Structures are given as structure tokens and as C-alpha cells.
Amino acid sequence: MKTKIASLIVLLVFFSGNLNAEPVNNKLPDLTDLIKTKVDYYEAEKICEDRGMRLPTAREMALLFQTRGAEISETEQDGFYPVDGRDVIGNPDFFYFSWKEYKRPEDKLEQHTFWTSSIRPELHTAAYTFNGYLGDVMDEPRARRVFTSVRCVRLHSNQK
């Protein structure tokens, strides 16, 4: 019985720490530059973890793309794509996204397709990606590595 209680306490501490690591507002994440190309979701996740960082959520990538003209809405609108993802510990991350006014960055490294930690709830084998060239959001099979790249979110002391 003591082992079960100790395990439960460890899980609660782990999950509460991770819940606090997720953004609670609409601040831009502190993203690294492109780290590696042609990686699948699992490799991208490991690359970030090995550096003491994490993959950005779909909302965090949408916020970055919003600085380039894309739009985020909390309500359904014509021309907006629903993003119904979950982060890696299951927290809801739902919003609508439009890339209609997106302006492509000049930096070629910013034009890659980047993984997010947001996994589709009805399709657990897929995670959302953001295409820096077109500005759109897609769900990709997590084992796909052909066109997908990784950037990580730097965690600051208050997020660990």
C-alpha cells in the first residue's frame, strides 16, 4: 500500500510540475532556431528533452505565425481551421487558425515545417505541424520525417 501511495505522490508532483510548464497566457514562446531537419515527432521530442527543453504547443507556434500576419480566434469563423490538439500531457489546446494573411519569412530556415507537441485527440498517431513557407497548420503522422523539422521552447526557471 505504501508503494502505491508513494507512486501516486510522484505522479501528482510530475503532472503538477508539467502543468505549470505550459503557457498560461498568449505570450510568444522563447524558441530556438532550427535544430534539425527530416525528423519524426519522437526524435524531435527527444532532441528537445535532451536539451532540457520541450516542443512548442500548436498555440505557441500559432502565436509565432500571428506575428507574420496569421490569425488566431477562440470562436469559429469562416476561413479559420479548427486546431483541436492536446499537449504531451493531455491538456486541451483548442482554437481556430487562419493563414490567409500570412507573410512568408525571408529566412529560408524559418520556412521549414515544424513539429508541435499538440497531438490530435481523435487521431493519436498524428501531431500538428506548422509550415513556415505557406503559414498553414496540418496534422502529420508522428512517424513522418521527410519534411518535418524541430525547434524547441527554452524553459526558464519558473517553468521547470
Domain ranges in the chain are 2-159
| pTM for the model | 0.77
Q: Which of 150, 158, 157 is nearest to 49 (CA)?
A: 150
Burial class from Cβ neighbours inside 10 Å (0-12, 13-18, 19+) for residue 118 reads buried
Q: Is 132 left (phi over 0), alpha (psi -120 to 50) or beta?
A: alpha
Euclidean distance between CA atoms 156 and 115, whole angstroms: 21
- Map grid coordinates 509550415 to a residue: 131
Euclidean distance between CA atoms 95 and 116, whole angstroms: 15
Give the model's pLDDT for residue 41: 95
- Are 68 and 103 contacting, i.e. CB atoms less than 8 angstroms apart? yes
Give the model's pLDDT for residue 4: 43
Q: Give me 51's grid cell.
A: 536539451
The neighbour count for residue 86, using CB atoms within 10 Å, is: 20
Superfamily holding 2-159: Mannose-Binding Protein A, subunit A (3.10.100.10)
Give the model's pLDDT for residue 107: 86
Q: What is the pLDDT along the chain (160 residues), one digit of tens a residue?
A: 554 444 433 333 333 333 333 333 578 888 888 899 999 999 999 999 999 999 999 999 999 999 999 999 999 999 999 999 776 567 788 999 999 999 999 888 788 999 999 988 888 899 999 999 999 999 999 988 878 999 999 987 555 4
Give the model's pLDDT for residue 157: 59
